[in-house]
Amino acid sequence: MYKSIIIGTGPAGLTAAIYMARANLNPLVIEGPQPGGQLTTTTEVENFPGFPDGILGSELMDNMRKQAQRFGAEFRTGWITSVDLSQKPFTLKVEGHGELKAESIIVSTGASARYLGIPGEQENIGRGVSTCATCDGFFFRGKKIIVVGGGDSAMEEAHFLTRFASEVVLVHRREELRASKIMQDRARSNPKITWSLNRAPLEVLAGERGVTGLKVWNNETGQEEIIETDGIFIAIGHTPNTGFLAGQLPTDEQGYLLVHPGTTETDIPGVFACGDVQDHRYRQAISAAGTGCMAALDAERYLEGIPAEEVLTL
């Protein structure tokens, strides 16, 4: 029986672990299939405060993990096969670790960027393929970049990337964009953005020094084309990692967990959510870490028996 089980080891989960451990609550942290979360898929992190020279994403996550361990957080690696939030204590079944029980649970399982699933994509992550313009745009100063997608994320990323790139080519598989009109208009009025609509990505092309181009299928001509580029930003959406909860917590229409505004409380007292699994707006390491801290403080107060209404006035 644990006071608290934290599920997920991105910046949100590890920050929650540091706070819970420092409060002597000996949290158990469950590490899933991608320890460290999305930051481990990027290279240099230059926007996490406190690192004036930047830090590798994997190193930042290693440091956070060590910091949590130093104060007594326990880690176990395993796939969660089921969760029962219907009665207290809450029960989790974790592959290789059996049944675990906890008085409180912090869900910080993040969201996974969707990938195209085409040849050359996975092996060139960090060599020109990215799913995060805020993280990696800076490395493409003066270069030509492709952004794939036709939603608001693609418009936003393309617009943002024109700060660095000499040209941003927006590649979308259809003629119509899914993005809102205001985002489309903003992208269309940006002279650095060019459009390759009706192009379905087929293969990421790369040489020794990284990405060199994107092979696409031109729906209008029925022929393959190669668009030369130095980088490919894939902006086709994210999927929050909530499948293991089997619908026990309310979500919005995109599957993100709902929390009570200004807190990390879910509809089930004792269950808290932080990081990207409940945030499709900011999605930054620092904002995830901030909500991880909030979840730990909310959980601590819950474990002390302070009612939620009173916490609001603390």
Which residues contact ligand NAP by CB under 6 A? 116, 149-154, 156, 173-174, 178, 201, 236-237, 280
135 is catalytic: yes
**Shortest Cβ 201–ligand NAP spacing (Å):** 6
Decide: residue 313, CB within 10 A, 0-12 exposed, 13-18 middle, 19+ buried: exposed
Whose Cβ is closer to ligand NAP: residue 66's or residue 174's? Answer: 174
Give how far Cα 201 sits from Cα of 174, 226, 314, Å: 11, 10, 52
Alpha-carbon span 28 to 35, nearest angstrom: 14
Whose Cβ is closer to ligand NAP: residue 7's or residue 236's? Answer: 236
**Shortest Cβ 138–ligand NAP spacing (Å):** 20
Whose Cβ is closer to ligand NAP: residue 22's or residue 280's? Answer: 280
| 44-50-52 Cα angle (round to 5) | 60
Question: What's the distance, CA 209 to chain centroid?
Answer: 27
Q: How many CB atoms lie within 10 A of CB 118?
A: 17
**Shortest Cβ 20–ligand NAP spacing (Å):** 31
Whose Cβ is closer to ligand NAP: residue 26's or residue 184's? Answer: 184
Whose Cβ is closer to ligand NAP: residue 209's or residue 281's? Answer: 281
Alpha-carbon span 72 to 68, nearest angstrom: 7
**Shortest Cβ 234–ligand NAP spacing (Å):** 9
Select from 13, 52, 20 the least CA-distant residue to 300.
20
Select from 51, 42, 198 the least CA-distant residue to 128.
42
**Shortest Cβ 283–ligand NAP spacing (Å):** 9
136 is catalytic: yes
Whose Cβ is closer to ligand NAP: residue 8's or residue 237's? Answer: 237
Of residues 136, 152, 230, 298, which has the active-site annotation? 136
**Shortest Cβ 182–ligand NAP spacing (Å):** 8
- Annotated catalytic residues are 132, 135-136
